[in-house]
Chains A and B, each alone.
Chain A
Amino acid sequence: MSSILPPARRVWWKEPIEKTELWWIAIALVWSMVLFFMMPYWHVFGKQNLSNEAYRISAADFQARTQEMVDKYTVRTETEQNIPVVNPPAGSDVYLIGRLWQWWPILELEQGKSYRLHLSAMDYQHGFSLQPENVNLQIVPGYEMVITVTPNKTGSFAIVCNEYCGIGHHQMVSRMYVK
């Protein structure tokens, strides 16, 4: 009479299923299909999708491309470390490096404009966490993630590292500006 004994009927797989279970399975199955449907639906109608491109890239190459952008579009520097603030034209390719333990450089973007944001890590894995928007991406060394971002608010945003990257991990915090 219990779950710790063999089934009462030898041919248990032909027993009828009771209403409670049948109804619940039907409802749960429909809900599962809704859950499944929502993801493709959002790809068509939603504005927040991670349909990113990705490429293999060496740390040196990514560094060089970032440097090129910095050389062209730097408008000022901030903090004692003189981190460049770059203001690239709307619609352009923008680069952000994650390395022990800083994000480099500081990007200044325009509201409502789209940018191709390139992200890569120089050493360990890092976590790109844009706050207070709360958009979180995994940054992996040797790979470049390219994603089109369209800021919909202005202000100063924080970029926190949220993938553990060693003893200075909690000091890895930077900014991104949207005008």
Chain B
Amino acid sequence: MADIGSFRIDPRSGLQYHREAEALIKVNAVAGVVFLLLGGVLALLVALTRVPGLHILDAEWFYLTLTAHGIDMLIFWMIFFEIAILYFCSSTLLRCRLAAPRWGWVAFALMVIGAIMTNVAVFQGQSSVMMTSYTPMMAKPAFYAGLILFAVGGLIGCFIFLGTLVIAKAEKTYEGSIPLVTFGALTACIIAVFTIASGAIILIPTWLLSLGVIDKVDPLAYRMIWWAFGHSSQQINVAAHVSIWYLVAALVFGAKPMSERVSRGAFLLYILFLQLASAHHLLADPGLSTNWKVVNTSYFMYFAVLASMIHGLTVPGAMEVAQRQKGYTRGLYEWLRRAPWGNPTFSGVFIAIIGFGFLGGISGVMMGTEQLNMIIHNTIYVPGHFHATVVVGTTLTFMALTYYLIPVLFKREMINPGLARLQPYLFGFSMYFFCLVMMGAGTLGVSRRHWDMAFSGMPMAYEWPGAAYLMMGLVGISAVAAILGGAIYIYVTVGSLLWGKRVDSGAASASGRPTPLMAPAAVAQTYGSQGFAAPGTFMLAMVFLVAFVLYYFVNWKYLSTVWGLS
């Protein structure tokens, strides 16, 4: 049982923090942002090197920088921030003390040590193996050891989250079922446990291989198990950022889920089918049967894609219903026009939802289709896709959430709110453009992870179409704009933490027990028009569907023109 004064009620949001959880949420979020900063600097170097004719890094530094950029962003920034989210969604939302906070510090220490160790290994050279580190190419032992330590830390964080749910249930800090947002975080946690286990299964032998203890890790087996870790870790991001979308809909609009059953059902589909997506990385590999590929890469008949399409409707739908209840009922889109576009927490999330769906979602299905994968595999289309999912989708969502957390968690006034208001637009839209031109260049065949598309000095150099050069130039320009957006985020958040005005931290709760969380009173659903609660969102979904169908069949048409393969 917690001591008296161990909870604080934030006066602005009414959120109740367990003090030990609060400290852990803060340090994990800050550590994440530090790696975002590092990864962002590396991003600038990578992008400018890929601009034809600019080439600011030499080949050796380019491959080194690209390795570090991938790991710092995709693993360290994301997972530190997600651990903060797990603690927030359990301890704070359930108004419960955090399970085993000391272990939380152990986890944090392991993650920090691991992250530094891997970075040091990469920057010392001889570990430029890219994030995927495919065998038989080997990095230094410290590269793998760092990742393993980081993963162990992450795993402890997951168990603290699960332990907190158990405590909340036992101490009856809430009535009925856990909130939807916590349910989404639980989904992320379950996926994370699977992911980290897969990572351990493959990285531990590879580490032993780098030490010379064992003499072979089969490259195909490595690819299969590594991707169960590598892609699944992106599914943690998806589950986490979708949870944050519901959270922000609730915070900004007071929105409730349109239907608990549908939204939770969609999260359940994630748990059941999302990991199968890992298989689409193996579509161009030797050794896998067609049946295996078709079943797995369709996420078992696209049930996980279905789940994402459901969330894509229900999140804006929940916002629409809440806005309509406030009286914004004129036409299809008054609810959207009257949304708080000047609030970066809302605008960031909305730009993330649209970009994640239209750019990341649709392109992901293309890559995951067995035959279409052949015209995409390892081209720069692939980073085009995943920047739309993890940068537009996850990173922008986490940024939007940070703006909300500056006063209510970090107890600071935001410095320069004008810049913060601009930031999601600059970052989001330049990333949209960045992803589009990358996918465009990929459609023309340009390789990913490639230092010199001109093949300078090579007797059999291939000359890409002019449009490919143009698009790679535009990749550089949009990357610079996006990185400027990222820099504004770092400036505003770090600046607010360092020299923002302190705000009232709120009263400590009088007793050692947290104030319990009451379920709201049930009210009847009010309807929009034509018997649809959210007609505007439904129309948006139809636009999405049309774009999806057209683009899908355009790709089949393209495929039908290439050499016969069987």
Q: How long is the Cα–Cα vector from A129 to B380 in the complex, in angstroms?
A: 12
Are A163 and B136 in contact, with the CB atoms below 8 A?
no
Contact with B along A148-166 (1 / 0, CB 8 A): 1111110000101111111
Q: How many Å from the CB of A90 to the closest CB on chain B?
A: 14
Are B377 and A136 in contact, with the CB atoms below 8 A?
yes
Residue in A closest to B552 when the chains form the complex, CB atoms: A35
Q: In this assembly, does A67 line the interface, its C-beta being within 8 Å of a C-beta of chain B?
A: no
Q: How many Å from the CB of B255 to the closest CB on chain A?
A: 6
Are A24 and B519 in contact, with the CB atoms below 8 A?
no
Task: Determine which of B313, B371, B465, B562 lies in contact with A42 in the assembled complex, contact meaning CB atoms within 8 Å.
Answer: B371
Q: In this assembly, does A69 line the interface, its C-beta being within 8 Å of a C-beta of chain B?
A: no
Q: How long is the Cα–Cα vector from A134 to B563 in the complex, in angstroms?
A: 10
Residues from chain A with a CB closer than 8 A to the CB of B262 are: 17, 21, 25
Residues from chain B with a CB closer than 8 A to the CB of A49 are: 290, 370-371, 565-566
Residue in A closest to B318 when the chains form the complex, CB atoms: A3
Q: In this assembly, does A99 line the interface, its C-beta being within 8 Å of a C-beta of chain B?
A: no
Q: How many Å from the CB of B428 to the closest CB on chain A?
A: 23
Q: In this assembly, does B101 line the interface, its C-beta being within 8 Å of a C-beta of chain A?
A: no
Q: How long is the Cα–Cα vector from A47 to B564 in the complex, in angstroms?
A: 5
Instruction: Name A's interface SS.
Output: mixed
Are A18 and B525 in contact, with the CB atoms below 8 A?
yes
Most buried by B among A48, A135, A141, A143: A48
Are B462 and A131 in contact, with the CB atoms below 8 A?
yes
Q: How many Å from the CB of A3 to the closest CB on chain B?
A: 4
Please classify how large the interface on chain B is, using the bins under 10, 10 to 19, 20 to 34, 35 or more: 35 or more
Contact with B along A1-17 (1 / 0, CB 8 A): 11111111110110101
List the one stretch of B242-250, B410-418, B472-480, B496-504 in contact with chain A: B242-250
Contact with A along B248-265 (1 / 0, CB 8 A): 011100111111111100
Contact with A along B271-299 (1 / 0, CB 8 A): 00000000000111111101000100010
Q: Say yes or no: A136-B378 contact (C-beta < 8 A), given A1-B256, A50-B370, A164-B449.
A: yes
Residues from chain B with a CB closer than 8 A to the CB of A151 are: 563-564
Please classify how large the interface on chain A is, using the bins under 10, 10 to 19, 20 to 34, 35 or more: 35 or more
Q: How long is the Cα–Cα vector from A93 to B220 in the complex, in angstroms?
A: 24
Q: In this assembly, does A138 line the interface, its C-beta being within 8 Å of a C-beta of chain B?
A: yes
Chain A residues with a Cβ under 8 A of chain B: 1-10, 12-13, 15, 17-21, 23-25, 27-29, 31-33, 35-36, 38-40, 42-43, 46-52, 54, 78-81, 114, 119, 123-125, 127, 129-138, 140-145, 147-153, 158, 160-167, 169-171, 173-175
Top-5 shortest CB links A-B: A158-B462, A150-B564, A54-B286, A32-B302, A162-B447
Chain B residues with a Cβ under 8 A of chain A: 59-60, 63, 93, 130, 134, 136-137, 174-181, 218-220, 223, 246-247, 249-251, 254-263, 282-288, 290, 294, 298, 301-303, 305-306, 309-310, 313-314, 317-318, 365, 369-371, 374-379, 443-445, 447-453, 455, 457-462, 464-465, 517-523, 525, 531-535, 537-538, 541, 545, 548-549, 552, 556, 559-560, 562-566
Interface CB pairs A-B, < 8 A, 10:
A3-B257, A6-B176, A7-B179, A12-B176, A42-B371, A43-B290, A47-B560, A78-B460, A125-B137, A173-B458
